[in-house]
Amino acid sequence: MPTFKLDGKTIPFEPGDTIIRAADRQGIEIPHYCWHPGLSAPANCRMCLVEILPKPGQKPLSLDILELDPKTGEYKPVQKPKLQPACYMTAGEGMEVLGDTSPHVQRARHDVQEYLLLNHPVDCPICDQAGECKLQDYWLEHQKTSKRMHDEPVHKPKGVEFGPTIVYDAERCVMCTRCIRFMDEIAKDPVLDMRERGNLNEITVAPGRQLEGHYTFMTEHVCPVGALTTKDFRFKARVWFLRSAPSVCQGCATGCNAHLDYDPRYNKAYRYRPRDNEKVNKYWMCDEGMLSYREAHDGRVTEPTVAGKPASTQAALDEVKRLFTGVPKDAIAFLLHARYSLEDNWALRELAMVLVGSHHVYASGRPDGYADDILIHKDKNPNSAGIKQLAPGAKSFKDLLGDVSLGRVTHVVSLGGSAPEDAGGLRDAKVVAISAHEGPLTKLARVVLPATSWAEHSGTYVNAKGMRQIAEKALEPQGASKPAWKQVADVATAMGYSPSWSKLKGIRAELIGTAAADRPSGPVLPTVGNASAE
């Protein structure tokens, strides 16, 4: 692989890489505002300037400038190297680049910072970006001087509603154009643009339009400062109180990698942010996915019920025992659910096929919905591919309704409360639902056992591309909820069986090591799909 030198360090690069991208791959940050690895490079912020040393025999690129001599108070002509934007310059074999170690680069970064802050309101105490703002970070790293301008700064519009989700503060904007380029290049809806010139520049929405659609939250995410905020998150939390868990969006079968930000003091989730994964979602998420963090709290089942009334866990399990005593195994159906992890579904499949010895295995999930060719998949479940791997012969929810109506199935153990279609036909069966969320099945179930949501335990999901990805635990279990695979073990015990699983590690070992010969019904699962998530 070809290499170049950055401040004396050897940096490998792929042909066509810019200096900033090659450095970024090595975990070296060259300060930048307008550059984003997923967008085109306009090279307009000038924060990434670097010095490129001439090759032997090459004439250096330099500029004639006037510099103030502090001793005489006069300007004198001097020369300085012409700095180049690292976000635009293509890396070349043997190139010698100076960043942190060049006094000219240090001066340029300082001056760009000072220029950007000339009219900036510096209202950090009331700004949602405080704590994760590039202006703050780079001031500390590259400027550290107080404001010299004493004139009234230029005032621009604040609190402008760009649409139903995003609010714009023009005074905080550094005009990097990332939001414009995101809407143009990724969302394919060029609804944002820049107007005016110089210090009157501001971002504007196309006349007659508003910033709307399925990808508005990403404009806030790419904004390096506090100019764009989401109505959902603004003024809700200070980011330094939040912790983050590597998660996987549960909104559809794409399985976008995400950071789930939560406040451990209140056991409360506050937002999702995309977690970069070139193979799945690159740097992006959709609005529906970004808002789906709310499902960590909304519509949750947190306590057991028997016949719709609150009950203790023991009373619920006693009822399970009573319900299943003497029921022939062929009358019991097991309903897997594509919203639940591989571990949860594996446990239910194990109960069905190994302990009970039934082949009445069915699969459920949320109904299909909107899709596009950017990220959003029509399958609104995060683990449909996992169910297909675990139980390729599972029958459909419609089949279950048919078997219940024909009297072949009288009892159902189900994962999840939602269904792809009207579940009313299950009223004729005795249903035990192990669910994290309320839904038609929890409403008609005789016994409901609360399961932890994806945010409260570590779980594996197989996305539409067949990649296994792990969503890690963020929150503590709410109420009496437990991971569904534990609830399945309790149900198995109540039914009179001895479950073989008691630890997540054991289930994962089964999932990785299971050979087709060991479990005739089970497939061989790929061991690694997403290295970053595993």
Binding site for ligand SF4 (CB under 6 A): 173-179, 203, 222-223, 225, 227-228, 249, 251-252, 254-256, 281, 285-286, 288-289, 375-377
Are 470 and 534 within 8 A, CB to CB? Answer: yes
Nearer to ligand SF4, 33 or 397 (CB): 33
Number of DSSP helices (H) and strands (E) in the chain, helices first: 13, 24
Which residue lies nearest ligand SF4, judged by its C-beta?
289
- Among ligand FES, ligand SF4, none, partner that 386 touches (CB below 5 to 8 angstroms by kind): none
Q: Give the whole-angstrom CA distance, residue 371 versus residue 274.
A: 19
Token output for 393: 């012969």
Q: What φ, ψ does residue 131 adopt, rounded to 5°?
A: 100, -20
Residue closer to ligand SF4 (CB basis): 342 or 404 = 342
251 binds, among ligand FES, ligand SF4, none (CB under 5 to 8 A by kind): ligand SF4
| Token pair recorded at residue 250 | 């549960």
* Residue (333 or 375) nearer to ligand SF4, CB: 375
Which CB, 84 or 493, lies closer to ligand FES? 84
44: its two tokens: 């307009």
From CA 123, how far away is CA 121, in angstroms rounded? 5
- Neighbour tally for 134: CB within 10 Å: 19
Shortest Å distance, C-beta 65 to ligand FES: 20
Taking CB within 5 to 8 Å according to partner kind, which of ligand SF4, ligand FES, none is near residue 43?
A: ligand FES
User: Which option in ligand FES, ligand SF4, none does residue 87 bind, with CB closer than 5 to 8 A by kind?
Assistant: ligand FES
Tokens, residue 74: 């006069």
Nearer to ligand FES, 84 or 119 (CB): 84
Single-letter amino acid code for the residue at 96: E
Residue 35 interacts, among ligand FES, ligand SF4, none and using kind-specific CB cut-offs from 5 to 8 Å, with: ligand FES
Q: Count CB-CB contacts under 10 A for residue 360.
A: 23
Amino acid at 417: G
Phi and psi, residue 90, nearest 5°: -75, 135
Pick between residue 108 and residue 419 the one whose CB is nearest to ligand FES.
108
Nearer to ligand FES, 33 or 454 (CB): 33
Report the partner that residue 46 touches, choosing among ligand FES, ligand SF4, none (CB closer than 5 to 8 A by kind). ligand FES
Beta-strand pair 9-12/3-6: antiparallel
Site for ligand FES in 34-53 (CB under 6 A): 34-35, 43-48
Q: Choose the contact partner of 430 out of ligand FES, ligand SF4, none; CB within 5 to 8 A by kind.
A: none
**Cα separation, 395 vs 253, whole angstroms:** 20
| Binding residues with ligand FES: total (CB under 6 A) | 12
Dihedral in degrees, nearest 10, Cα atoms 292, 293, 295, 301 = 160
CA dist., res. 349 & res. 229, Å (int): 44
Could you say which residues in the range 338-367 bind ligand FES, by CB under 6 A?
Answer: none
In the bound state with ligand FES, the residue whose beta carbon lies nearer, of 47 and 167, is 47
The nearest distance, CB 348 to ligand SF4, in angstroms, is 24
Backbone angles phi, psi at 64, to 5 degrees: -85, 125
Q: How far is the CB of 339 from ligand SF4 (least distance, A)?
A: 12
Considering only residues 54 through 93, tell me which ones interact with ligand FES, judged by CB under 6 A: 85, 87
Tell the smallest beta-carbon distance from residue 514 to ligand FES (Å): 49
Closest to 434 in 3D by CA, of 419, 412, 417: 417
- Closer residue to ligand SF4, CB minimum distance, 288 or 438: 288
Shortest reach from residue 44's CB to ligand FES, in Å: 6
Structure tokens of 450? 């609360």
Q: Answer with the entry of ligand SF4, ligand FES, none that 485 interacts with (C-beta below 5 to 8 A by kind).
A: none
Contact flag: residue 32 with ligand FES (CB under 6 A)? yes
Is residue 225 a contact residue for ligand FES (CB under 6 A)?
Answer: no
**Smallest distance from the beta carbon of 303 to ligand SF4, in angstroms?**
28
Strands (E), 298-457: 305-306, 309-310, 332-337, 361-364, 411-415, 430-435, 447-450
CB of 204 to ligand FES, least distance (A): 21
4 vs 293, beta carbon nearer ligand SF4? 293
45 or 404: CB nearest ligand SF4: 45
Buried b / exposed e across 144-177, counting CB within 10 Å, b at 16+? Answer: eeeeeeeeeeeebeeeeebbebbbbbbbbbbbbb
Show the tokens assigned to 427. 């009223």
CA distances from 157 to 30, 121, 172, 228 (A): 31, 12, 10, 12
Among 4, 13, 33, 293, binds ligand FES (CB under 6 A): 33
- Smallest separation (angstroms) from ligand SF4 to the CB of 371: 9
* CB nearer ligand FES, residue 34 or residue 432: 34
Smallest gap from residue 252 Cβ to ligand SF4 (A): 3
Among left, alpha and beta (phi > 0; psi -120 to 50; other), residue 479 is left
333: contact with ligand FES by CB under 6 A: no
Nearest Cα residue to 473 out of 269, 236, 221 = 269
Report d(CA 482, CA 487) in Å as an integer.
7
Q: Which residues pair with 6 in a beta bridge?
A: 9, 97
User: Which chain residues interact with ligand FES by CB under 6 A?
Assistant: 32-35, 43-48, 85, 87
